[in-house]
Amino acid sequence: MPELPDLEVVAEILAPRIAGRTVRGVELRRPDLLQTGEASLRALAGAELGPVSRRGKFLRVSFDSGLHLVVDLGRWAWLWHGPGVYPPSTDTDLRLLLADGTEVRLIESKVPRLAAVWVPRDPLAEPPLVGLGPEPLDPGFTPEALKRALAGRRRTLKRLLTDQRVVAGVGDAYADEILFQARLSPFRFAHTLSGEEVERLWRAIGETLRWAIGEIRSRAGGKLMDREIRDFLPVHGKRGAPCPVCGAPVAEVQFDEVRTNYCPACQR
Ligand SMILES: [Zn+2]
């Protein structure tokens, strides 16, 4: 599932490719993809594409008409952009046909198909972006802001970091990496953290996410990725591999759909 660093790079690759282009037509090929009325999607035809940005784990494509297309890539959907000469594959959920002959396609080649799109007029005040927590890379996300978000919370750090109302954009993978970097156990209850530990967690959030954006950017090489690039992560998905700090095997705990990897020796 794409998270903040993945989507940040997708937005920066897609933006210059489509900015200023006019939408010639929209083809919805999986009707339940759309979470707002059918008319809202048709209204995008004729509009000019503006900036592409990310909020939490969503991509937002803005149009000069004041409309926005908000995209949740779900678990494995990805965006493709290229010349519209190739017929779309059966796993294409949505096509945005541009006046320059290129198209943006939302492709989901695995089931269940979990991607979703919205066309809100006021995206920050409407679902799915309304109610999202602070952006962890915003200057306003200070150690004090994190301290307030965690104060008195009798929930584990893993659960809190992946709660989109607490911090937007962090999921299972980057919560594991942030906690590894902070040397804090994913099972620690937030209310037991000292001031120094909250500060360490805050620093790890910024450092880990910025580092990951750089790594993904260089590996993507300007191409839209059809899957997340995660090979460089030290702990998430690395069960049994040696911890890069102490050499102990990386542990894994699976609970419901949530997989947590950590180093039992380094993280307390
Ligand atoms: Zn270790």
Residues 250 and 158 in one domain: yes
Given a cut of 90, whether residue 37 has pLDDT beyond it is no
The alpha helices in the chain, defined as continuous H runs, are 4-18, 38-42, 143-150, 157-161, 172-182, 195-220
Same-domain pairing of 118 and 12: yes
Quote the ligand 1 centre to 245 CA distance (angstroms): 5
**C-alpha 3 to ligand 1 mean position (Å):** 24
Token digits for 161? 């970091």
Domains of the chain: total? 2
CA 161 – ligand 1 centroid, Å: 21
DSSP 8-state symbol, 204: H
Half-sphere exposure of 184 (CA within 13 A, CB side): 26
- Do 121 and 165 reside in the same domain of the chain? no
Between the CA of 183 and the centroid of ligand 1 the distance, in Å, is: 9
pLDDT band at 200 (very low <50, low <70, confident <90, very high): very high
Name the maximum alpha-carbon separation found in the chain. Answer: 59
**59 lies in which domain range?**
4-125
Residues 120 and 151 in one domain: no
**For residue 257, what pLDDT is reported?**
83
Beta strands in 41-112 (DSSP E): 49-55, 58-63, 68-72, 78-83, 92-98, 102-107
Task: Read off the pLDDT of residues 211-267 as tens digits, 9 standing for 90 and up.
Answer: 999 999 999 999 999 999 999 999 999 999 999 999 999 999 998 889 999 999 999
Residues paired with 105 in a beta bridge: 80, 95
Whether residues 112 and 167 fall in one domain: no
Same domain, 45 and 79: yes
Tell me the C-alpha distance between 118 and 30, whole Å. Answer: 13
Is residue 135 domain-resident? no
Percent helix, strand, coil in the chain (nearest 5)?
Answer: 30, 25, 45
Q: What is the CATH number of the domain that holds 174?
A: 1.10.8.50
Q: pLDDT value at position 256?
A: 80
> Are 54 and 155 part of one and the same domain?
no
Mean pLDDT within 158-179: 97
Which residue pairs, CB below 8 angstroms and at least 24 apart, start in 89-95?
Answer: 92/29, 93/28, 93/29, 93/30, 93/33, 94/26, 94/27, 94/28, 94/29, 94/30, 94/33, 95/25, 95/26, 95/27, 95/29
Which residues, chain by chain, have CB under 5 Å from ion ligand 1?
243, 245-246, 248, 263, 265-266
pLDDT at 39 > cutoff 90: no
The pTM of this model reads 0.96
**Predicted pLDDT at 152:** 85
Output the CA 97–ligand 1 centroid distance in Å. 49
136 within some domain = no
Whether residues 114 and 47 fall in one domain: yes
Same domain, 118 and 148: no
Ligand 1: centre distance to CA 180 (Å)? 8
**CA 143 to centroid of ligand 1, rounded, Å:** 25
Given a contact cutoff of 8 angstroms between Cβ atoms, the answer to whether 186 and 157 are in contact is yes
Q: Are 50 and 111 in a shared domain?
A: yes
Dihedral angle of Cα 233, 237, 239, 244, to the nearest 10 degrees: 0
For the stretch 93-133, pLDDT in tens is 999 999 999 999 999 999 999 999 999 989 999 999 999 99
Q: Indicate whether 119 and 149 sit together in one domain.
A: no
Q: How many whole angstroms from 174 Cα to the centroid of ligand 1?
A: 17
138 located within any domain: no
What CATH number is attached to the domain comprising 115? 3.20.190.10
